């Protein structure tokens, strides 16, 4: 069996990529989704705040997903549900996708192009090496979100949240509304990993304290969590002796970061960027393997689904152009894109002026909070763009738009510089 | 009152091995376990190594059981359908002054009857294991050292015993032992029973049972060992199990691939009071980081997916306590390292003694073969496809990290000693043991447990006791 | 009096300064970068409002619960009353997006509507 474009994942990225590919003229687009429905993690993100950018209105996660699902249906894009891709390979130059599902069994097919849309997973508590016991009552925020929002069960009554990622903040409010007492949110860094609006409407509204520069140093309880100890941390993020505070609770929620899920990408040999844990992609959002594109949280973790959709549409269009032979294979005129100053990474990591559209959005994050900041784009040292940004924070993605007209050929390097205005 | 020929107290790897060996004989046997599953104590948190047997002092029970157990393991693993690999071990010496101790270890191994031992120079050791540190100045290579899944071994032994007629009773703590004319009256939290012989395989609590009935007292100290488990991306960092020359408190910190392809670093060794103290400590984790780096360079500790602690049952006499220590009372106590390696031999030895004592005849219909939950992800594609055709539930992936299907989870729940908890499913199938550490699959596994065992989601537990996962139903019928 | 607020109108999270007079009436809003910010600032110091999102039990559906939202914002002080009504509510499958699940929630005059479709079992 051979398919023109296979989209791995039917969440917001996969849906937008599939729709854009089909709209760009691809005939045969197939979505493989491991869950029983399309929409991905949006299905459990029942809070509002999605779609302001795309639809100019505030939607809940399921409402946002529904708009894309309807569009995909209208375009007759087939989606296989409950289909988990178990292998992504290359054989005699052709891409192969193998999946299993209850109804189809084990199926191996060739694909003209593949768009990676597998999303991300939550960093587990194990990765933190938190001392203490391992009883019931420790959840990643997303697991708790699913139990509350999809199953209708409360995972605990007295809650401490470690990490101030958006899911943790959202769950602080959600569990409070369901009658739980959220005692505090402890954040290791001196700044929150979540959006400012979520601090206001999820914590401040309910009087939940946010303890910056604090972490959990002990977990107690044999069968069920009975309490945790939090402590302040120093500039090196090490707990400061003497600042410990015991907090009785039956639940610890973790919202300590998201990791792109690139097991399949690694399997096929896609080059992974250590800064994002996602594929290193060029201007077409194409990975180091021709015909394999990546977008959404599998590429780099986003804070806004609107940008996932936008990015994914770009990847879908490029996949369609690729199978139509319109963009050819990766270009030899590639210019390296590098982060400068406080910029931590850039997506993409290289740009082919020949292949790029008239404009290209480069997304990046800063390493630390910058006040009175500026974003600069330098092509071979020459400043092409300078934009003031009063505040930049690691928790919020930044962007800069490159213009095709800046390139005459032969350029070596584009630097995306972020930092304090000098 | 119910009467048995033999009651085994404790369903860890030792108790399960004894039970399985007993089930070769005709008789009525029961295993009493205080927790909700097999292998909930020491057996669930250890180094998962089948030691070659050079470590224990010649003439000790530890030496004898280890060497015999290690010899039995390949055939046993095949019978019980559990993964086992003899990946070989390197005991590295970090200080030229200690090279004589390495030589002594080699001699001890020869004396214990261990095959496949070799002394290597530092260069030769690094050639075979390139990530050994520059400090390594010599190594003892042991070809027969192996890696195994301790949950699978325990479950395999227990299920084989159950398949051959041994009864298992979980959540059943033994509260008293009383000698009767014909054997023992065993008090449990669910009432008494009688047995002609009792086997004490109670792990870190074995001294308590022993001291109830024996004049010569035992003293068992729970010795905590902390571990870090690294992601499979780090699993190739070393190919062999890398030990450091043993010190006073045990074998020191090892770095080893696991049978499932992760990397394991540990253990520490700290004596504790509480036989349920499984708390990981900041100091312990720091120690692992420091000590592992001595023998192996660039251990990618950032890839850690979980850290945990286990307790070894260290007996003051520093050897296993095996045999009939009171009339009809058989000890399998003080089973610390190399307990996992020795379990098959301990089972063989004790069951032999008991059979002789009670005059138990061999059973003709003993079936040594036990099949575990199939591991779909490890099958060649054609076989996997065939399996899914036979049972479509094998095509529905529940645990994405380890690619475990609904079919495998159902098999685990409906196995001979089926899983009843989240941890029970995890240990039988590896669902939840991968890099996301059950974040995505646990609600789904909970649903399957509730559906298959006809219970409310509120009653689904992580392991035993009060380890329920959700506390309240907030929507729908009978919501609070 | 000057109120310092963080706008929750969009992810930008602008830092607003809202000046009120002695009677509590808004004199000025600064720091906002759009009209929504000004509206938010004015409302937040006089009569703050929020959208409430939650779930409602479904009978006869393929899923046990359906996500719901207040169609528009409701007074902040009514959030917990609204939640109490939502907890008691039930809806029969099939449910379509926008279906009114609870009319006039907690006397706010605002309906609670389904935010997802749930098919009948």
A81 touching B, CB under 8 A?
A: no
The answer to whether A139 and A154 are in contact (CB under 8 A) is no
Q: At what angle do helices B339-358 and B13-22 cross, to 10 degrees?
A: 40
* Phi, psi of A330, rounded to the nearest 5 degrees: -50, 145
Smallest CA–CA distance, residue B174 to chain A, in Å, is: 20
In this structure, the answer to whether residues A100 and A222 fall within a common structural domain is no
For residue A216, the chain B residue with the least C-alpha distance is B282
Taking CA atoms, B443 is separated from A133, A150, A154, B461, B479, in Å, by: 21, 10, 12, 12, 18
Cα separation, A118 vs A96, in Å, equals 16
Range of the domain at A71: 1-122+258-330
The answer, yes or no, to whether residue A394 has pLDDT greater than 70, is yes
Q: What is the CATH number of the domain that holds A251?
A: 3.50.50.60
Q: Report pLDDT digits (tens) over B24-60.
A: 999 999 999 999 999 999 999 999 999 999 999 999 9
Per-residue confidence (pLDDT) for residue A128, from 0 to 100: 81
Per-residue confidence (pLDDT) for residue A330, from 0 to 100: 61
Cα separation, C20 vs C47, in Å, equals 13
Smallest CA–CA distance, residue C54 to chain B, in Å, is: 11
The answer, yes or no, to whether residue B251 has pLDDT greater than 80, is no
Per-residue confidence (pLDDT) for residue A422, from 0 to 100: 75
| B280:A131 CB<8 A | yes
Per-residue confidence (pLDDT) for residue B63, from 0 to 100: 97
Burial of B478 (0-12, 13-18, 19+ CB in 10 A): exposed
Q: Report pLDDT digits (tens) over B174-217.
A: 999 999 999 999 999 999 999 999 999 999 999 999 999 999 99
Per-residue confidence (pLDDT) for residue B250, from 0 to 100: 56
C89 touching A, CB under 8 A?
A: no
Q: Which of A284, A306, A304 has the alpha carbon at shortest distance from A294? A: A284
Average pLDDT over residues A142-152: 97
The answer, yes or no, to whether residue B478 has pLDDT greater than 80, is no
Per-residue confidence (pLDDT) for residue A329, from 0 to 100: 64
Indicate if C53-114 has the same CATH topology as C2-47: no
Residues of B in contact with C87 (CB under 8 A): 474-475, 479
In this structure, the answer to whether residues A248 and A148 fall within a common structural domain is yes
| Subunits with 3+ C-beta pairs closer than 8 A to C | A, B
User: B51 catalytic, yes or no?
Assistant: yes
Domain total for chain A?
A: 3
- Beginning with the edge strand found earlier in the chain, give each strand of the sheet holding C26-30 in spatial order: C2-6, C15-20, C26-30
Smallest CA–CA distance, residue B190 to chain A, in Å, is: 21
In this structure, the answer to whether residues A11 and A115 fall within a common structural domain is yes
The answer to whether C97 and C67 are in contact (CB under 8 A) is no
Q: Report pLDDT digits (tens) over B345-372.
A: 999 999 999 999 999 999 999 999 999 9
Q: HSE of A317 in the Cβ direction (CA atoms, 13 Å)?
A: 12
Cα separation, B167 vs B161, in Å, equals 8
Residues of B in contact with C64 (CB under 8 A): 475-476
In this structure, the answer to whether residues A23 and A112 fall within a common structural domain is yes
Per-residue confidence (pLDDT) for residue B208, from 0 to 100: 96
Of A131, A147, A151, Cβ closest to residue B281: A131
Smallest CA–CA distance, residue B456 to chain C, in Å, is: 14
Select the residue from B447, B475, B478, B479 to test the C interface by mutation, using most C Cβ atoms within 10 A. Answer: B475
Across chain B, what does the average pLDDT equal? 95
| Subunits with 3+ C-beta pairs closer than 8 A to B | A, C
Tokens read off for B451: 């559906």
Select the residue from A9, A107, A127, A237 to test the B interface by mutation, using most B Cβ atoms within 10 A. Answer: A127
Q: Report pLDDT digits (tens) over A3-14.
A: 999 999 999 999
A354 touching B, CB under 8 A?
A: no
Chain B, window 440-459: residues with a beta carbon less than 8 angstroms from a chain A beta carbon = 440, 442-443, 447, 457-458
Q: Report domain extents, chain C.
A: 2-47, 53-114
A243 touching B, CB under 8 A?
A: no
Of C13, C64, C97, Cβ closest to residue A197: C13
Smallest CA–CA distance, residue A44 to chain C, in Å, is: 8
Residues of C in contact with B476 (CB under 8 A): 57-59, 64-65
Residues of A in contact with C51 (CB under 8 A): 48, 58
Tokens read off for A317: 């269009």
Per-residue confidence (pLDDT) for residue C11, from 0 to 100: 78
Structural domains of chain B sorted by starting position, each given as residue range(s) with its CATH number in brackets? 3-43+151-220+317-358 (3.50.50.60), 85-147+221-313 (3.30.9.10), 376-459 (1.10.10)
Q: Which of B279, B171, B256, B269 has the alpha carbon at shortest distance from B223? A: B269
Q: HSE of A160 in the Cβ direction (CA atoms, 13 Å)?
A: 26
- State yes or no: cis peptide before B267, omega within 30 of 0: yes
Q: What is the DSSP letter of A123?
A: P
| C64:B479 CB<8 A | no
Last residue of a domain, one of A224, A256, A288: A256
In this structure, the answer to whether residues A4 and A104 fall within a common structural domain is yes
Average pLDDT over residues A201-211: 97
Q: Report pLDDT digits (tens) over B380-426.
A: 999 999 999 999 999 999 999 999 999 999 999 999 999 999 999 99
Cβ-based neighbour number of residue A236 at 10 Å: 5
Selected residue with higher pLDDT from B333 and B476: B333
- Range with lowest mean pLDDT among A330-334, A368-372, B394-398, C58-62: A330-334
Q: Which of C62, C22, C60, C18 has the alpha carbon at shortest distance from C38? A: C18
Residues of C in contact with A144 (CB under 8 A): none
Per-residue confidence (pLDDT) for residue A194, from 0 to 100: 87
The second-level CATH assignment, the architecture, of C2-47 is Single Sheet (2.20)
In this structure, the answer to whether residues A135 and A231 fall within a common structural domain is yes
Smallest CA–CA distance, residue A46 to chain C, in Å, is: 6
- State yes or no: cis peptide before A348, omega within 30 of 0: yes
Smallest CA–CA distance, residue A295 to chain C, in Å, is: 21
pLDDT band at A226 (very low <50, low <70, confident <90, very high): very high
In this structure, the answer to whether residues A166 and A241 fall within a common structural domain is yes
Of B305, B405, B465, Cβ closest to residue A223: B465
Radius of gyration of chain B (CA): 22
Selected residue with higher pLDDT from A126 and B267: B267
Q: What is the DSSP letter of C115?
A: S
In this structure, the answer to whether residues A141 and A221 fall within a common structural domain is yes
Cα separation, A403 vs A310, in Å, equals 18
Of B388, B440, B467, Cβ closest to residue A121: B440
In this structure, the answer to whether residues A308 and A359 fall within a common structural domain is no
For residue A259, the chain B residue with the least C-alpha distance is B436
Q: What is the dihedral of CA A79, A80, A85, A91, to 10 degrees?
A: -70
Annotated active-site residue in B51, B210, B237, B314: B51
| Sign of the CA dihedral with A204 first, then A207, A208, and A209 last | positive
Chains A and C: how many Cβ contacts under 8 Å? 77
In this structure, the answer to whether residues A397 and A319 fall within a common structural domain is no
The answer, yes or no, to whether residue B248 has pLDDT greater than 80, is no
In this structure, the answer to whether residues A106 and A207 fall within a common structural domain is no
Q: What is the DSSP letter of B386?
A: H
Of A46, A48, A49, Cβ closest to residue C55: A46
For residue C59, the chain B residue with the least C-alpha distance is B476
Last residue of a domain, one of A301, A330, A359: A330
A135 touching B, CB under 8 A?
A: yes
| A121:B463 CB<8 A | no
| A63:C116 CB<8 A | yes
For residue A137, the chain B residue with the least C-alpha distance is B469
Per-residue confidence (pLDDT) for residue C98, from 0 to 100: 97
- State yes or no: cis peptide before A413, omega within 30 of 0: no
Taking CA atoms, B419 is separated from A134, A222, B387, B447, B463, in Å, by: 19, 20, 22, 13, 10
Per-residue confidence (pLDDT) for residue A332, from 0 to 100: 75
SS3 A29: strand
In this structure, the answer to whether residues A9 and A118 fall within a common structural domain is yes
Per-residue confidence (pLDDT) for residue B249, from 0 to 100: 54
Residues of A in contact with C5 (CB under 8 A): 200
| Sign of the CA dihedral with C55 first, then C60, C64, and C67 last | negative
ipTM of the predicted assembly exceeds 0.85: yes
**Cβ within 8 Å of residue B383, ≥6 positions away:** none
Selected residue with higher pLDDT from B130 and A409: B130
- Sequence length of chain A is 422
Per-residue confidence (pLDDT) for residue A336, from 0 to 100: 95
Cα separation, A213 vs A192, in Å, equals 9
Cα separation, B283 vs B371, in Å, equals 41
pLDDT band at A1 (very low <50, low <70, confident <90, very high): confident
Last residue of a domain, one of A291, A307, A330: A330
β strands within B425-480, DSSP E: 472-473
**Which residues pair with residue A185 across a beta bridge?**
A161, A210
Residues of B in contact with C63 (CB under 8 A): none
Asked whether the whole model's pTM tops 0.90, one would answer yes
The answer to whether A230 and A247 are in contact (CB under 8 A) is yes
| C65:B476 CB<8 A | yes
SS3 A24: coil
Cα separation, C26 vs A219, in Å, equals 48
Q: HSE of B98 in the Cβ direction (CA atoms, 13 Å)?
A: 18
Of A98, A124, A131, Cβ closest to residue B279: A131
Taking CA atoms, A378 is separated from A407, B308, B316, B378, B435, in Å, by: 12, 49, 71, 50, 39
Domain covering C53-114 assigned CATH 3.80.10.10 in the classification: no
Select the residue from A50, A81, A152, A202 to test the C interface by mutation, using most C Cβ atoms within 10 A. Answer: A152
Per-residue confidence (pLDDT) for residue B99, from 0 to 100: 94
Q: Which of B275, B295, B287 has the alpha carbon at shortest distance from B102? A: B295
Q: Which segments of chain C have a pLDDT < 70?
A: none
For residue B35, the chain A residue with the least C-alpha distance is A223
The answer to whether C55 and C21 are in contact (CB under 8 A) is no
For residue A177, the chain B residue with the least C-alpha distance is B474
| B479:C65 CB<8 A | no
Tokens read off for C69: 């939202």
């Amino acid at each position: 069996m051979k398919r023109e474009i296979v989209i791995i994942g039917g969440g917001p990225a996969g849906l937008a990529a599939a729709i854009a590919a089909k709209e760009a003229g691809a005939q045969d687009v197939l979505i493989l989704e491991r869950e029983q429905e399309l929409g991905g993690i949006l299905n459990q993100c029942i809070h509002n705040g999605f779609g302001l950018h795309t639809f100019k209105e505030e939607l809940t996660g399921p409402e946002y997903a529904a708009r894309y699902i309807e569009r995909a249906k209208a375009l007759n894009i087939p989606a296989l549900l409950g289909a988990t891709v178990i292998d992504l390979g290359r054989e005699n130059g052709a891409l192969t996708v193998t999946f299993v599902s209850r109804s189809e069994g084990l199926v191996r097919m060739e694909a003209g192009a593949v768009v990676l849309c597998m999303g991300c997973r939550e960093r587990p508590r194990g990765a933190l090496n938190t001392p203490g016991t391992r009883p019931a009552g420790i959840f990643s925020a997303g697991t708790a979100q699913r139990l509350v929002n999809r199953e209708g069960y409360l995972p605990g009554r007295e809650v401490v949240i470690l990490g101030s990622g958006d899911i943790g903040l959202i769950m602080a409010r959600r569990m409070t509304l369901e009658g739980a007492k959220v005692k505090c949110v402890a954040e290791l860094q001196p700044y929150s990993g979540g959006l400012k609006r979520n601090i206001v409407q999820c914590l401040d509204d309910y009087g939940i304290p946010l303890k910056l520069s604090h972490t959990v140093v002990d977990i107690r309880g044999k069968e069920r969590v009975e309490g945790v100890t939090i402590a302040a941390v120093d500039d090196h993020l090490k707990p400061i002796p003497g600042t410990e505070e015991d907090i009785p609770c039956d639940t610890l929620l973790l919202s300590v970061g998201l990791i792109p899920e690139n097991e399949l990408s690694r399997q096929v040999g896609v080059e992974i960027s250590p800064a994002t844990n996602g594929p290193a992609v060029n201007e077409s959002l194409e990975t180091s393997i021709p015909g394999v594109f990546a977008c959404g949280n599998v590429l780099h973790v986003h804070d806004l689904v609107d940008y996932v959709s936008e990015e994914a549409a770009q990847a879908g269009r490029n996949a369609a152009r690729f199978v139509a032979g319109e963009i050819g294979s990766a270009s030899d005129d590639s210019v390296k894109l590098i982060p400068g100053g406080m910029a931590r990474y850039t997506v993409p990591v290289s740009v082919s002026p020949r292949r790029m559209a008239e404009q290209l959005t480069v997304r990046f994050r800063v390493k630390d909070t910058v006040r009175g900041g500026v974003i600069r784009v330098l092509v071979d040292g020459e400043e092409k763009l300078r934009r003031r940004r009063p505040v930049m924070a690691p928790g919020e993605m930044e962007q800069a738009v490159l213009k095709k007209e800046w390139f005459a050929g032969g350029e070596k390097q584009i630097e995306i510089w972020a930092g304090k205005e000098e | 009152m119910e009467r048995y020929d033999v009651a085994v107290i404790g369903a860890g790897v030792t108790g399960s091995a004894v039970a399985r060996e007993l089930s070769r004989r005709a008789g009525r046997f029961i295993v009493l376990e205080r927790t909700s599953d097999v292998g909930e104590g020491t057996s669930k948190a250890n180094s998962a190594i089948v030691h070659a047997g050079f470590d224990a002092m010649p003439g000790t029970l530890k030496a004898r059981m280890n060497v015999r157990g290690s010899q039995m393991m390949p055939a046993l693993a095949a019978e019980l359908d559990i993964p086992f690999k003899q990946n070989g071990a390197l005991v590295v010496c970090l200080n030229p002054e200690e090279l004589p101790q390495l030589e002594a270890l080699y001699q001890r191994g020869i004396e214990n009857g261990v095959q496949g031992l070799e002394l290597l120079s530092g260069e030769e050791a690094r050639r075979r294991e390139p990530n050994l540190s520059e400090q390594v100045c010599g190594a003892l290579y042991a070809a027969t050292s192996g890696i195994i899944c301790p949950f699978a071994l325990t479950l395999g032994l227990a299920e084989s015993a159950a398949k051959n007629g041994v009864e298992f009773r979980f959540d059943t703590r033994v509260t008293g032992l009383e000698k009767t004319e014909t054997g023992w009256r065993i008090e449990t939290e669910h009432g008494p029973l009688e047995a002609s012989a009792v086997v004490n395989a109670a792990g870190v609590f074995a001294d308590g049972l022993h001291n109830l009935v024996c004049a010569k007292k035992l003293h068992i100290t729970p010795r905590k060992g902390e571990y870090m488990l690294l992601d499979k991306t780090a699993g190739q960092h070393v190919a062999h199990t890398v030990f450091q020359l043993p010190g006073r408190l045990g074998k020191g910190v090892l770095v080893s691939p696991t049978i499932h392809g992760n990397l394991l670093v540990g253990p520490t060794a700290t004596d504790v009071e509480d036989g349920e103290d499984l708390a990981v400590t900041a100091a312990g984790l720091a120690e692992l980081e420091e000590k592992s780096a001595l023998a192996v360079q660039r251990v990618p500790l950032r890839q850690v997916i979980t850290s945990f602690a286990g307790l070894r049952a260290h007996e003051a006499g520093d050897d296993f306590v095996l045999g009939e220590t009171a009339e009809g009372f058989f000890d399998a106590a003080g089973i610390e390292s190399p307990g996992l390696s020795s379990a098959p031999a301990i089972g063989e030895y004790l069951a032999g003694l008991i059979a002789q004592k009670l005059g138990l005849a061999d059973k003709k219909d003993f079936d040594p073969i036990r099949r575990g939950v199939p591991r779909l992800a490890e099958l060649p594609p054609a076989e996997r496809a065939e399996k899914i055709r036979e049972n479509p539930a094998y095509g529905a992936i529940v645990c994405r990290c380890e690619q475990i299907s609904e079919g495998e989870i159902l098999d685990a729940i409906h196995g001979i000693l089926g899983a009843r908890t989240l941890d029970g499913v995890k240990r039988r199938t590896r669902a939840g043991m991968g890099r996301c550490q059950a974040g995505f699959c646990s609600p789904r596994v909970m649903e399957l447990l509730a559906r298959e065992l006809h219970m409310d989601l509120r009653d689904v537990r992580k392991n035993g006791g009060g380890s329920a996962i959700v506390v309240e139903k907030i929507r729908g019928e009978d919501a609070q | 009096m000057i109120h310092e607020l963080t706008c929750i109108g969009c992810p930008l999270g602008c830092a607003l300064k809202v000046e009120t007079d002695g009677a509590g009436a808004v004199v000025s809003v600064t720091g906002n970068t759009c009209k929504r910010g000004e509206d938010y600032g004015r409302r937040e110091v006089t009569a703050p409002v929020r959208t409430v999102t939650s779930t409602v039990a479904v009978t006869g559906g393929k899923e046990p619960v359906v996500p719901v939202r207040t169609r528009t914002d409701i007074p902040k002080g009514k959030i917990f009353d609204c939640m109490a009504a939502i907890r008691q509510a039930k809806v029969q499958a099939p449910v379509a997006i926008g279906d009114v699940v609870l009319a006039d929630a907690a006397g706010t005059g605002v309906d609670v509507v389904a935010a997802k479709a749930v098919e009948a079992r």
